[in-house]
Amino acid sequence: MRKLILAALLAGTVATPALAQETGDGRFTGVRVEGIVGYDTTKDDGEGRDGAVYGVGVGYDVQAGNVVFGVGAEASKSTIDECVTGAVVTGDELCVEAGRELIVGGRVGFLAGSNALLYGHAGYTNARIDVDYTAPNGTTNPALEDESTNLDGVRVGGGLELGIGRNAFAKAEYRYSNYEQGFDRHQVVGGFGLRF
């Protein structure tokens, strides 16, 4: 599935220069860079955890009349971290942290006025889950060494982007990600960026 998504993104990237020549440049055409921050909640086997998410993204959009097509990538980090004591033996500590997340995908949007874009997006996501185990009194347990697990998944969502001046924009976005091993997450984020 990862290869299929990457092939679609590559095909879109190759096709966008020709589309730009046919339609001309618009407010939502060009390279964009952005920062995001917001609310993050994860769920694993019915148990939920809440925290904050922050990150950076880069993308490229082409406006064709009232429609905008884009590709992009993002790297983000979550503050979700849960620790329990006595997980295996009395006095130990087991911590699970929602680590970094990497996303590549595409979006399609429709203009809602001269400086507002309503859009939907979808793509591939890879989230890292970090597990740290601390045994009591300095003892070790080789079966529970610190480890990280990468989970592949799919992200979908939508948002509203508002132009501020000619090159800046602000956005609000909802995202849902579904990963392997029964893990999923919901995020509501705000962002600010520049278009070149």
Using one digit for the tens of pLDDT, what is the confidence trace for 99-137? 899 999 999 999 998 899 999 999 999 999 888 887 777
Architecture of domain 2-87+99-126+154-195: Beta Barrel (2.40)
> What's the pLDDT at 140?
58
Distance CA 151, CA 184 (A): 10
Q: What residues pair up with 129 in beta bridges, in sequence order?
A: 98, 149
Residue 23 host element (H or E): helix 2-23
- Could you tell me how far CA 58 lies from the centroid of its own chain? 11
Distance CA 26, CA 110 (A): 13
Distance CA 19, CA 6 (A): 20
Q: Which residue has the tokens 């600010």?
A: 192
Distance CA 165, CA 141 (A): 58
The tokens describing 144, both together, are: 């529970």
Cβ proximity of 89 and 135 under 8 Å:
yes
> What's the pLDDT at 24?
38
> What's the pLDDT at 145?
62
For Cα atoms 21, 122, 14, give the angle at the middle one, nearest 5 degrees.
30
- Distance (Å) of CA 174 to CA 39, 40, 121, 157, 159: 10, 10, 10, 5, 6
Q: Which residues of the chain have pLDDT under 70?
A: 1-25, 45-46, 138-146
- Distance (Å) of CA 113 to CA 93, 110, 162, 193: 54, 9, 10, 19
Q: Amino acid identity, residue 176?
A: Y
> What's the pLDDT at 8?
43
Its pTM stands at: 0.77
Residue 190 host element (H or E): strand 183-195
Tell me the domain boundaries of the chain. 2-87+99-126+154-195
